[in-house]
Structure 1
């Protein structure tokens, strides 16, 4: 209570004082660049994924543009030590995504390397995935995929190095005859997502759909 008075939660865009369970104020939420994607129909994210791997459906919550509120929100989640941001983004996603009859069987998020996890203190996708799992009634498993190598963040690498994703991930258990919903924070080049997707696809008679917080 005292901490809330001394350090009130503020809107990421305009710094107005807002409730503890909010990211932006009622005015600035209108500036969040929601994509309005339809999960079961063609959209920009699905088109970009399909150039890299077979994809069933795809959904991006926001557009990740320079100097946008959306970008500030994702950066707070990843670099601002605000893990609870993932919960709010999951609630926004659950309100906007609609599944066809073929709902995914399992939710899997892109893993961090243990060294990166130790540096950051949390995986920015875990709370997002866990919250979404409850709201959409789809089980999740954080242990299915492991990251084999420690690498610099994609944003810190030039394009020539971003393609170096061979053997970056591997499965820790067998997956077959499953429709997997693969989750990540931002879709940029798609190389990381593609690397994980192919590990799942080549493991058995599996299908992959994609869900990201934002698409660049």
Structure 2
């Protein structure tokens, strides 16, 4: 309580004091560009994924517009040492996504390279994944996929300098006959997600769907 008085939680957008469990105030919440995707139907994210790999379903929570509040939220999650933002984004997702045509068998977030994990101190997708798992009673595996190479964050590169991510991932154990929901923060070129998806699809009868916090 004393710390809350000294260091009150403030809206990421306008700076208004808000409760410790909130991310933005009620007024600024209306500025967030939610996609209103239907996980079980066609949408823009699914169409973009289909150009890169076979996908069952796809859902993006927000639109990642330049200089937008959604961009500010993701950047605070990844680079601002605010891991708990992942839980809030997961709760927003749970309110908007439906698995009415059948739940995935397993949730798998995109891994960080161990070097980057040590530097950041946390994987920004883990708390998000664990919250979705709890809300829908779907098991998760944080270590199914391994990242083989360390490189700078995609967001800090000029678009023309981004490289293909072939062979960047490996599978740590055999998984077959599973519908796996791949989880990432921002879908940009789709190269990272495609590389991870193809590794999983190498195993017999696996299928993949995609869930991202935001779509560029």
Cα distance in 1 for partners of 2:97, 2:164 equals: 32
Correspondence 1:141-160 to 2 at 5 A: 141-160=141-160
Name 1:131's counterpart in structure 2.
Answer: 131
Following TM superposition, the consecutive aligned residue runs of length 4 or more in structure 1 with deviations greater than 6 angstroms are: none
Cα distance in 2 for partners of 1:26, 1:147 equals: 38
Secondary structure of 2:205's aligned partner: coil
Q: Is the 8 A contact 1:162 1:191 kept in 2?
A: no
Cα distance in 2 for partners of 1:122, 1:181 equals: 21
Cα–Cα, structure 1 residues 66 and 159, in superposed 2: closer, same or farther, change >3 Å?
closer
Secondary structure of 1:86's aligned partner: helix
Name 1:88's counterpart in structure 2.
Answer: 88
Shift of 1:164: 2.5
Name 1:98's counterpart in structure 2.
Answer: 98
TM-score, structure 1 normalization: 0.98
Secondary structure of 1:31's aligned partner: coil
Secondary structure of 2:129's aligned partner: helix
Name 1:11's counterpart in structure 2.
Answer: 11
Shift of 1:100: 2.9
Name 1:121's counterpart in structure 2.
Answer: 121
Shift of 1:157: 2.7
Shift of 1:163: 3.5
Cα–Cα, structure 1 residues 158 and 66, in superposed 2: closer, same or farther, change >3 Å?
closer
Cα distance in 2 for partners of 1:159, 1:203 equals: 32
Shift of 1:161: 4.5
Shift of 1:160: 4.9
Shift of 1:137: 1.1
Secondary structure of 2:195's aligned partner: helix
Cα distance in 2 for partners of 1:156, 1:67 equals: 15
Cα distance in 2 for partners of 1:168, 1:53 equals: 16
Name 1:72's counterpart in structure 2.
Answer: 72
Q: Is the 8 A contact 1:11 1:24 kept in 2?
A: yes
Name 1:177's counterpart in structure 2.
Answer: 177
Q: Is the 8 A contact 1:55 1:210 kept in 2?
A: yes
For the pair 1:34 / 2:34, whether they are aligned, the reply is yes
Q: Is the 8 A contact 2:49 2:55 kept in 1?
A: yes
Name 1:168's counterpart in structure 2.
Answer: 168
Cα distance in 2 for partners of 1:174, 1:4 equals: 47
TM-score, structure 2 normalization: 0.98
Cα distance in 1 for partners of 2:18, 2:160 equals: 42
Shift of 1:127: 0.3
Give 5+ residue unaligned stretches, structure 1. none
Name 1:51's counterpart in structure 2.
Answer: 51
